[in-house]
Structure 1
Amino acid sequence: MAIETFRMSATCQSRLILSPLQQPRQSDERGEMVMSNESISLDKVALVVHPSDNVAVAKTKIVAGTLVECHGKQILVCEDIPAGHRFALFDLPAGTPIKQYGQPFATSLGIKVGERVTCQRISNELPKRAVTPASKNEPPNYLPKEQVPTWKGYKRRDGRFGARNYVAVVPTSMCASTEAIQIAMKAEFFLWSKEEFPNVSGVIALPHDKGCGCPSGTPVEMTMKVLARYIEHPNVAAALVVELGCEKTNLDAFSKFIEPTMDKKPVKTISIQDCGGTQATIRKGLEIVGEFLELANKFQRETVSGSELVLGVKCGGSDAFSGITANPALGYAADFLVRCYGTVIMTEIPEIYGAEHLLAERAKDEEVARKIFEAVGWFRKYVGVFGHDLDENPSPGNIEGGLVNIAIKSLGAIAKGGTSRIEGVIGYADLPQGKGLYLMQGPGYDQESTPGLVAAGAQIVAFTTGRGTTIGNAIAPVIKISSNTQTFQRMKGDIDINAGTILDGSETIEQVGERIFAELMEVASGKPCKAELNGHREFQIWAVEEVSL
């Protein structure tokens, strides 16, 4: 039922927003709408995402006094409506659910037809919604195996394939991070070159601020788990682990996390205290990295089935168009990868709040549906311990871009996971138990959720943005997809794909989705993405016992 509803919504989007746009009858020198004495057809200036919606989303700035023709009647726009913001198509008396995507995202406090929907005019209360039994969902419609596309990756001893071939320098704590940075930086400048080591992607460090000065238990265990996941990751050929020697995550504690990996790839360890300080540690580290470069260069790319690809899907710096263009297009690509027997991981649990019922309806069975609700419930309790609420999630940039509350943000955000059934719910940085679409526990904060997806095994991440963001990852390519053409043109050096063509009317969701999938295959096979070209190598670990939304 939920899958059918979403597909109807996508069809409605195609019908309403994918026809070529016509320019407003009058505009100023900046291309912004100015008031016209004649009425303007709604589809020229705004869109209705779903037939049951009672608001429209402005595609361009609509100036107060503009007459918009809709449902056979004229609507007088009472105030300026910025692009991406909503205005009421009908009077919405206090207590009326406000709908987009065919779903309620807020309750009106009293909004008249033609008025803008703002944070001050709504309540975040939502009506209770019935959930269709999840046991009715069928498996994905898999492609015949001979039709599954291929990519080129580095085969590892554990049977997985890497999209990159890095030598990693991993500090066990913040106390060893400076040494790790200097070893990796000097190795890249003085030991590694693409000409001498053509099969090696580079030498990277994973500096972080964890590992000591924190309570024992979850923070320490999480730090070591994430670091171990990066060491065992198929994008890493070999790893040097650096400790200070007295931190909570020292080698004695960390050894149980990395011992299984040491039989599968080259891993060596050094201690700053045992080496005799910073400079001695750097010298020793460079010797080891030099050896690792020779070993890593022996790996060569080989053709592999698309079924071996694990894709992480993310959104950040979102705007109101993200859920209408970029996210559904990425969802189309994600669905296709699932049909290829591949794996997709979606996270950002705070950003499914208000839409979790739709994901639960797509669960493999009732147990998975229950776990989806439990994941959101856990996060609500987690932030509540610190006196906060998930309603605080939208950033000032989100709100300025038209995402007035978490529910409308979530309804658009879940589209990046496509329409496939959800096979399971996993913990932060945990590996999926099989193929298909998985939901990972974790925050919405980009700097922690993106590394979590990679720790969970994603060799590549697709990241949608409306406002524009530049984040990358230490060991995995992060492809950026813009929701609108303006942001793409402004940040061409950072964004790989423009999904704003959907809004402009020159492409459909499906066409952009096909472009995204093709780009995923090329980047997985070695094409550098913009974040890599710009040197973005972000890495951070979710602290769990600190609030992240």
Structure 2
Amino acid sequence: MTNATTVSAEAAASDATILLRADDDVAIATRDLAAGLPLDLPAARVVVVETTVPRAHKVAVRPVAAGAPVHKYGQPIGRATRDIAPGEHVHSHNLAVGVPTHEYEFGTARQSPPTTMAGRTFDGYVRGDGRVGTRNFIGVITSVNCSASSARMIADQFRGLGALDEFENVDGVMALTHGSGCGLVPESEGGQTLLRTLRGYARHPNFGGLLVLGLGCEMLPVTALVEDLGLPEGALVETMTVQDSGGIRATVRTAVETIRTMLPQVDAARRRPVDVSNLVLGLNCGGSDGYSGITANPALGHASDLLVGAGATSVLAETPEVYGAEHLLTRRAVSEAVGRKLLDRIDWWQSYAAAGGGTLDNNPSPGNKAGGLTTILEKSLGAVAKAGSAELAAVYEYAEPLSTPGLGFMDTPGYDPVSVTGLVAGGANVVCFTTGRGSVLGSKPAPTIKLATNTEMYERMHEDMDLNCGRIVDAAATLEEVGEEIFETILAVASGRQSVSEELDLGQDEFQPWQLGTVT
């Protein structure tokens, strides 16, 4: 596997640093580096550490003049704000983002992913329209925040030990609540985004049954969520409003009985082997650190390539976190139109940020910076590694149905719950989430697989992580080996093995639709 952010053949690793490209200006510390430590570099060069460098942070391996670009991954990650000497710690005190400038190319770096996993299968739930679920939930979806408490009361009747013991093929009853739906203008951008999100969940193949619950006087009525969804004949879908049902108590009683009648039918579904091409993988990251772009993200990119090569769908997201690296994706676009759609979304985000008094280079977060990331360019270059090297087949708006097999990109915010909500609304039936600082995200009804970027965090939070990708830096496994392990984990989880977030019943509260638009 090769892409712009994976380790090149010329890269060098010692017990103290990793140099990703022979001509990079910085290396990444694999442990805390004390002043005076000599670093062995390619071509028999030795650099002495001048100042303490924390683990996962950057150390200069050659002099950089003030105002000159600093390179990592073979790409500029910002400009030096003062002269930087070899051996110095490179971070916020001497590196700033600057304004990225790129010459955009379209389709000049397209390549076909490996097909070695073609024909593999997983055990899924085949719905009446042929789509495949990896879980079998009953959903209580709200059209408006006013029905949120009622929906939670309903779902809570089916939570806890023993609540669904007699229905072993039902994964649970979950409430999907949000903070909008009433004063939101339905025809506005925000109204359409919310509607698209709720309808995406309503038709998600991981739901075997559905109850849509409203208050009764909202601008986004329950009927709008289920009309013309194209659900298969016999799909279990019921609608209710609190006002017409006689208030909260009466609504909860009626809804619980309605769901009880659904349970035997939902429980009758059985998993069966299906081709791996039925997987739709959402790619996301959060709490990133200096290892994200060299361990978990490129390893996930390798797994993504294996899935795409087998005919599946894999979708990158978080538009503000590809800013500065979008030129690498346009080079992989199947057409100029696809590449320009991505650039249009970048332009929209720059205007959106400016309207709010911000800029896209406000990122990285304080946690990212503590973990070794300095600029949005550096963060983005590492983030796009999750997409492997496959050609970019499609670009989607938030929560738009993921209809094109292959690698896609969805326009979402960088905020993890909102981003993952959009991917699941689009149809992702599995999510892989990389983290260096330690995220505890879940994403029901789609399972989330959490990938740790470093061993220290994995060992500290092992009960919240599914797989340790830090073994790549530890030289205990290769990137390709970990990528294949991720691939096998995806198949196992898609076939019913619980991820650690599912063991804790996480994911209901992380349903967070993107809120945009005028509220009246």
Letter in 2 for 1:121: N
Using CA pairs below 8 Å that are at least 6 residues apart, which structure has the higher relative contact order? 2
Which segment is superposed worse, 509-518 or 71-80?
A: 71-80
Change (3 A) 1:173 1:199: same
Letter in 2 for 1:366: E
Deviations along 1:227-285, one digit per CA (max 9) or x if unpaired, are 11111100000100111011121225445365x33746111011101111110000000
For residues 531 and 514 of structure 1, what CA distance do their matches in structure 2 show? 21
Secondary structure at 1:415's aligned position in 2? helix
Deviations along 1:131-167, one digit per CA (max 9) or x if unpaired, are 44416625545458xx421000001111111000001
Change (3 A) 1:271 1:159: same
| Structure 1, gaps ≥5 residues long | 18-42
Alignment of 1:53-452 (within 5 A): 53-70=24-41, 71-110=43-82, 111-126=84-99, 128-134=101-107, 137-143=110-116, 147-189=118-160, 192-194=163-165, 196-216=166-186, 217-256=188-227, 258=229, 260-261=230-231, 263=233, 265-452=235-422
Normalized per residue, the structure richer in helix is 1
For residues 393 and 25 of structure 2, what CA distance do their matches in structure 1 show? 33
Letter in 1 for 2:26: V
Secondary structure at 1:503's aligned position in 2? coil
* Residues 1:12 and 2:9 aligned together: yes
Change (3 A) 1:66 1:10: closer
Instruction: Spell out structure 1 runs of 4+ moving beyond 6 A.
Output: none
For residues 419 and 387 of structure 1, what CA distance do their matches in structure 2 show? 35
Which segment is superposed worse, 101-110 or 73-82?
A: 73-82
On the 8 A contact 1:231/1:238 being kept in 2, the answer is no
For residues 224 and 467 of structure 2, what CA distance do their matches in structure 1 show? 43
Deviations along 1:297-320, one digit per CA (max 9) or x if unpaired, are 111001000011100011111101
For residues 459 and 210 of structure 1, what CA distance do their matches in structure 2 show? 25
For residues 64 and 16 of structure 1, what CA distance do their matches in structure 2 show? 21
Change (3 A) 1:186 1:293: same
For residues 39 and 110 of structure 2, what CA distance do their matches in structure 1 show? 41
* Residues 1:507 and 2:503 aligned together: no
Secondary structure at 1:154's aligned position in 2? strand
Scaled by the length of structure 2, the TM-score of the pair is 0.94
Change (3 A) 1:324 1:372: same
Change (3 A) 1:141 1:491: closer
Letter in 2 for 1:541: P
Give 1:197 deviation, angstroms. Answer: 0.7
Secondary structure at 1:296's aligned position in 2? helix
Which residue in 2 is equivalent to 1:460?
430
On the 8 A contact 1:205/1:474 being kept in 2, the answer is no
Secondary structure at 1:464's aligned position in 2? strand
Letter in 2 for 1:94: A
Give 1:218 deviation, angstroms. Answer: 2.1
| Structure 2, gaps ≥5 residues long | none
On the 8 A contact 2:128/2:232 being kept in 1, the answer is no
On the 8 A contact 1:224/1:257 being kept in 2, the answer is no
Which segment is superposed worse, 134-143 or 165-174?
A: 134-143
Change (3 A) 1:138 1:416: closer
Deviations along 1:452-499, one digit per CA (max 9) or x if unpaired, are 111111100000000111100120100000000011101111100000
For residues 262 and 287 of structure 1, what CA distance do their matches in structure 2 show? 23
For residues 73 and 245 of structure 1, what CA distance do their matches in structure 2 show? 73
On the 8 A contact 2:35/2:49 being kept in 1, the answer is yes
For residues 324 and 191 of structure 1, what CA distance do their matches in structure 2 show? 43
Give 1:96 deviation, angstroms. Answer: 1.2
Deviations along 1:491-518, one digit per CA (max 9) or x if unpaired, are 1111000001101001000000011000
What is the number of equivalent residue pairs in this alignment? 513
On the 8 A contact 2:110/2:332 being kept in 1, the answer is yes
Change (3 A) 1:107 1:492: same
- Of all paired residues, the percent bearing the same amino acid is 38
On the 8 A contact 2:286/2:439 being kept in 1, the answer is yes
On the 8 A contact 2:56/2:290 being kept in 1, the answer is yes
Please point out which of 452, 460, 476 is paired with 2:446: 476
On the 8 A contact 2:138/2:208 being kept in 1, the answer is yes
Give 1:187 deviation, angstroms. Answer: 2.6
For residues 4 and 154 of structure 2, what CA distance do their matches in structure 1 show? 50
Secondary structure at 1:511's aligned position in 2? helix
For residues 37 and 239 of structure 2, what CA distance do their matches in structure 1 show? 68
Secondary structure at 2:463's aligned position in 1? coil
For residues 16 and 234 of structure 1, what CA distance do their matches in structure 2 show? 45
For residues 6 and 420 of structure 1, what CA distance do their matches in structure 2 show? 12
On the 8 A contact 1:107/1:126 being kept in 2, the answer is no
Which residue in 2 is equivalent to 1:498?
468
Give 1:190 deviation, angstroms. Answer: 9.1
Change (3 A) 1:446 1:136: closer
For residues 275 and 127 of structure 1, what CA distance do their matches in structure 2 show? 57
Which segment is superposed worse, 50-59 or 303-312?
A: 50-59
Give 1:130 deviation, angstroms. Answer: 3.2
On the 8 A contact 1:191/1:290 being kept in 2, the answer is no
For residues 467 and 382 of structure 2, what CA distance do their matches in structure 1 show? 19
Which residue in 2 is equivalent to 1:487?
457
Please point out which of 501, 506, 513 is paired with 1:536: 506
Scaled by the length of structure 1, the TM-score of the pair is 0.90
